[in-house]
Structure 1
C-alpha cells in the first residue's frame, strides 16, 4: 500500500496513474477513499484520480493525537509531494471539502481548481456542537452504538441499503477513540467566510438538496468565491458521489474540461443517456 510520510503520520492514498490532470479527492467524515470508487471508474484515464485517507480514517497511520483540518491540508500537500505533482485539482465531500479549501489557502500555487461537494465555509453551529457531543457520548456505549450507526447511515446515505449496510459494518468495528479524535477536527473547524475571496481558482460547488449542509451555506460559499459554478442535485444526501454517481461524474468531467483541459470539451461524456435525477444549476 502506498503511503506519504508526514512528520507524525503515514497518509495512505490510491493513485489511478495516467497522464491526465491530477484530481485529489478527500472523503467524508467517518468514511474513507473507497467512497470515490464510482469516480475512479468513470473519470480515468482522462484524469489521474488520487484518493486518500485522512487521519483517523481508513488505512492512514497516525498517533491518535488531536489534529485540525489545517493539519490535514498539509497532509494533502504531502501526498502531492510524494507523487511529484506540482499542481492539482483538489476536492472532496464535506470533511474533504473543508480540507481542500484550507489547502487552497495554504498553497494557492499548488491548486489549479476546486471541486467541493456538500461543503461549507462556516464554523459549526451551537446546535451542531450540542448534538455531536450527545452522539459521541453515546457512541462509547456498546449497547446503543448499532442504533446510532444506522441513524447516521440514513442521515448521510439515505435509502440505499447496500451502501448503508456496508458503512454501518465498518463503523461498528472502528476504534471509538479514533472517532472521538477525528470528530475534534470536525467540531473545532474555523470559519473561512472572510478568506474565500483569496481563493481565485475555478471552483465547482455541488450541493445535494438533502445534505446536512444548509443550502444557504452552500450558496454563500459559491457566492463568495470569485470564480465558482454552483450545481444542485435534487433528492441526494451528503454522500452523493456514491448514491448519485452519474450526475456527479458528469458535472466534474464537464467542469474540468472547461477549466483544466478546455481542448477536451468535445470528447465523449462519462456516459450517454438520461440522468436519473434532476439537476439545477444557478449562475
Structure 2
C-alpha cells in the first residue's frame, strides 16, 4: 500500500508493472466508479501489467483514501488525480476511467492536456443523471446510509446472472459499495450532479475509446454512444454479458479492447 498527500487529501494508490519499466515512461492510469475502490480493476490490471506501468488509486472519499466532508466538485477529483500523477513523476498517460472515473478522465484531458495521451472511457458520459436523481440519492444516503439504496444500484451494476446469491464475488462487491464512506459517496454524487462536460469533451482532440456493457443500467449503451459521437474519431465498443462494470464481469474482453486500442493509436509504448 502507498499513500500520498496531494491537493490537500491523502490518496491511496498503487503502481504496478515490470520492474524494468522506466519510471518516466508512459503509464496506464485507472480511475474507478462511484461506490467502488481500485480493486475493481484487478482482473484487468493482471492482464496488462506485463506490458505497461499501471497506476491505480482510490479517489477521495473511497477505499483507503481520505473522505473530506461533502460536497465535492468534479474539479476536486480531477485536480487530485493531476496532483497524484505529478507526485509520481508521470508526464504521459493513457487514462482509463469508469463512470465518474470516466468523467474525471475527461476533465483531466481538458485541464491538464499535457498529461493525457489517450482516453478509455468506460460506461460513462459527458453528463450523467439529473439534479433530482442525485439530490434524492444524497438525501437517502445521508438519512439512511448507502445500504438503503444498494439493491437498486446493484441491479444497474450487474447482469442478472452475476447477481446470484451463490456468487461470492457479488457479495464482496456489495460490501465494497455499502462500506464506502457516506461523505465520499454523497460528496461525489454532488460532483456528478453539478458536472456537465458536453462542450469541453466535444473539444477534445486525442485518441479515445468508449466502452459500455450491453446491460449497463446506469449509463446505457445509447448514452455512451452519444458520448463517443461528441469526440472526433472516437471508437465505440459494446461488451456483451456485462452491466455497468465490465471490468468485473468481462475483464478479459475489457483488457483486450484496451490493449488493442493502445496499439492502434501508434502513440504508445
TM range (shorter): 0.7 to 0.9
* CA offset digits 1:147-195 (Å, max 9, x no partner): 6323322321233233320022233434334332232222222x12122
Deviation at 1:207, TM superposition (A): 1.4
The 5 A counterparts of 1:47-62 are 47-62=52-67
Q: Which residue of 2 aligns with 1:151?
A: 152
Whole-angstrom CA distance in 2 between matches of 1:104 and 1:67:
19
Q: Which residue of 1 aligns with 2:228?
A: 222
SS at match of 2:96: strand
Q: Which residue of 2 aligns with 1:249?
A: 255
Structure 1 contact 11–52 (Cα < 8 Å) conserved: yes
Gaps of 5+ in 2: none
Structure 2 contact 30–57 (Cα < 8 Å) conserved: yes
Q: Which residue of 2 aligns with 1:94?
A: 99
RMSD: 2.2
Structure 2 contact 117–207 (Cα < 8 Å) conserved: yes
Of the candidates 82, 85, 95, which is equivalent to residue 80 of structure 1? 85
CA 1:62–1:130 in 2, change beyond 3 Å: closer, same or farther?
closer
Of the candidates 112, 121, 129, which is equivalent to residue 117 of structure 2? 112
Whole-angstrom CA distance in 2 between matches of 1:224 and 1:162:
39
SS at match of 1:73: helix
Whole-angstrom CA distance in 2 between matches of 1:218 and 1:208:
10
TM-score (norm 2): 0.87
Choose between structure 1 and 2 for higher RCO, CA contacts under 8 A separated by at least 6 residues: 2
Of the candidates 178, 181, 184, which is equivalent to residue 175 of structure 1? 181
Gaps of 5+ in 1: 265-283
Q: Which residue of 2 aligns with 1:122?
A: 127
SS at match of 1:28: coil
Q: Which residue of 2 aligns with 1:281?
A: none
CA 1:196–1:245 in 2, change beyond 3 Å: closer, same or farther?
same
TM-score (norm 1): 0.83
Whole-angstrom CA distance in 2 between matches of 1:133 and 1:7:
24
Q: How many residues align?
A: 258
